[in-house]
Amino acid sequence: MGFLGFIDRVIIPAVMMIVIIGGTGGVLLGCALVFRSAATLRFIQRMNSWVSTRQALRPLEVARNVDPAPGPGGRRPRLGVFLLVGGAIAVYFLIVRLDFARSPYAPGVDLVRWFLSGLALEATKWILVAGSAFAALIGLLMLLAPARLAAFEARVNQWHSSRRFLIADEKMHLPLEPHVEAHPGAAGWTIAAASLLVTLAMAGLLIARLH
């Protein structure tokens, strides 16, 4: 069974069943609003429990410094030598030893796929070259100019609090509930009718697919 067959035989019927179950739940909710309005509204209020993201994200709001302690003069000689030597070796092997441009074209292979795969490999190679060269530069700064490296890290390592971006989500927005509470009967009939229509339509499509 191919990908399209899997979608046609598994995914689409599963989505239809989920819609049917949801529509049945909507019918039951609408009938409950019509015939047991007070109890249903109390149940809805109990289910609307709001969880603040501030409590969940509070451990992430603490700034932590994981940098190792620098040596005298702010130098980190071991890490600097490792980054300098490792970055230089990586740049050498990537440029001199790894050449995707010379890979011959094999007859029978799709030309477009061969070109795109070669282009992706070449782009990945030069991204790795740039990263390795940057690592070697950082290692050189650690050994020769730790003050400039510290100033660069201070500009780059800026910490941003997520509370400023999530403050709008710290409020509950329930625009429909006041209308449902004011007119539970009309809301119940509307929800039940719409859910019943969707359920019958999905059930009809599912039965038609099975036959």
Which amino acid belongs to residue 24? T
User: Quick one: CA dihedral 196, 201, 207, 209, positive or negative?
Assistant: negative
Alpha-carbon span 40 to 46, nearest angstrom = 10
Residue 203: count other Cβ atoms within 10 Å of its Cβ: 16
CB 75, CB 142: distance < 8 Å: yes
Domain ranges of the chain: 1-44+177-211, 77-158
Alpha-carbon span 87 to 129, nearest angstrom = 9
What is the pLDDT at residue 86?
93
Hey, which bits of the chain come out as E strands? none
Residue bearing tokens 């650690």: 142
Structure tokens at 129: 């070259």
CB 188, CB 26: distance < 8 Å: no
What is the pLDDT at residue 106?
47
What is the pLDDT at residue 97?
78
92-95, long-range: CB within 8 Å, 24+ apart, which pairs?
94/125, 94/128, 94/129, 94/132, 95/129
Write out residues in the chain with pLDDT < 50, as ranges.
105-106
What is the pTM (predicted TM-score) of this model?
A: 0.45
What is the pLDDT at residue 134?
93
Q: Please, what is the Cα angle at 7 between 5 and 9, to 5 degrees?
A: 65
